[in-house]
Chains A and B, each alone.
Chain A
């Protein structure tokens, strides 16, 4: 299981990275593997407000739909439009295939570092 050291993680298996004043959000390797072959992604629009701990997107595999929860409260600055036509990129490269970039961040959920996240995964196994 790939868990990059430089990222922060949520209990609901999103990753977050601070970059150029944005919070970049994606799904972890564990999440993509659990979800299996993704065939659909629904993202918010630029300018939408997202709230820490609330759902902001949904992803669907051949089997089922799943919600994605925002690690932060803020405004959507950018969405990864490429995923709309190629959701499988999340399976192929979960840490490259970010979902949204958030600005004006005022709050975050409790975030874990890679060691803590690894421990959480061990407990979930």
Chain B
């Protein structure tokens, strides 16, 4: 049985088309994926991402635990900073990817994928070094994402300057915005500037409607999961279950910079050392023939399968079909001509650089 987010009634009222996703009922679209995608690239979009999981980590050795559980390095980090990391299993595959916020020394706020939340929490709990306390606080938080070039302008109408984090990947904790206690984070999953606001589920509808009203002039519209996926794909951001999974290592999927092999130790390090330098690589594919690429399609060279696509769609802003794929390095050179098996039809493609889209 799927759960409703605290914004479910708002989605229905606004005409959102509701679908089940990762155990939740969420809108896949309101006005249409293309219109919503373009609004985020050119103006601003509002997303309900309350399905995401929130985990709290506290304790004198919390930092040590982060360095043990995650591949990124958390040794030097200022309070208010956010840092992305893959989380590896003992074989060097990915349990999940997540964002860690440092609230204070010994006090961290971790955001994980909805579909993996229970698995992540169990994994972290099982591998936690004694001395820190781990809490699944997902039910205490709703999350609203305000994304697009107009995001700051809109948020400024509701929040005072000191409530708005300046740097990308930083956050302000315990802010009072319109009488609501919030974490205001300058992060997102769209490739645009924007904010993710964490707050009590009871306050979420009020915040959602205040934001929609505040952004009317700027062209802010509500957006669904459909646009969230096309936006992240156009920005070439990985998604668990697509670009990474239990088996694919972060180093094989373009996340090597988040794996600090020089760190003393972390779960999965020995396996990654053993696996050696990756022989495969995540690449971008552009369709040079006709067709739309999707996930899990075979990538062919001279008719033989050399890899597969991990995500694919038609990118509205770039106005072209693209896919990401994991391919052997020898075929991953920019300009390499290949084919993709699109439901029995061989569609010509070319390897192009990632990201497909980067904001100016």
Chain A positions within 8 Å of B, measured between CB atoms, are 36-37, 39-40, 42, 58, 60-65, 84
Contact = CB atoms under 8 A, between A and B. Distances in A.
Given A36-B33, A37-B33, A62 B294 contact: no
Contacts, number: 40
Nearest 8 Cβ contacts at the A-B interface? A39-B314, A60-B292, A62-B33, A37-B34, A40-B292, A37-B32, A62-B314, A63-B226
Given A39-B314, A40-B314, A63 B33 contact: yes
B277 interface: no
Given A36-B33, A64-B294, 5 more contacts: A36-B29, A37-B33, A40-B292, A42-B345, A62-B33
B316 interface: yes
B313 A42 contact: no
A61 B28 CA distance: 13
Contact of B290 (A37, A42, A62): A42
Contacts of A60: 292, 314
Interface of B: 28-29, 32-34, 37, 226, 230, 290-292, 294, 313-314, 316, 321, 343, 345
B343 A61 contact: no
Given A37-B32, A37-B34, A58 B314 contact: no
A40 B316 CA distance: 12
A87 to B, nearest CB: 10
Contacts of B291: 40, 42
7 contacts: A36-B226, A37-B34, A42-B290, A42-B345, A62-B33, A62-B313, A63-B226
A62 B343 contact: no
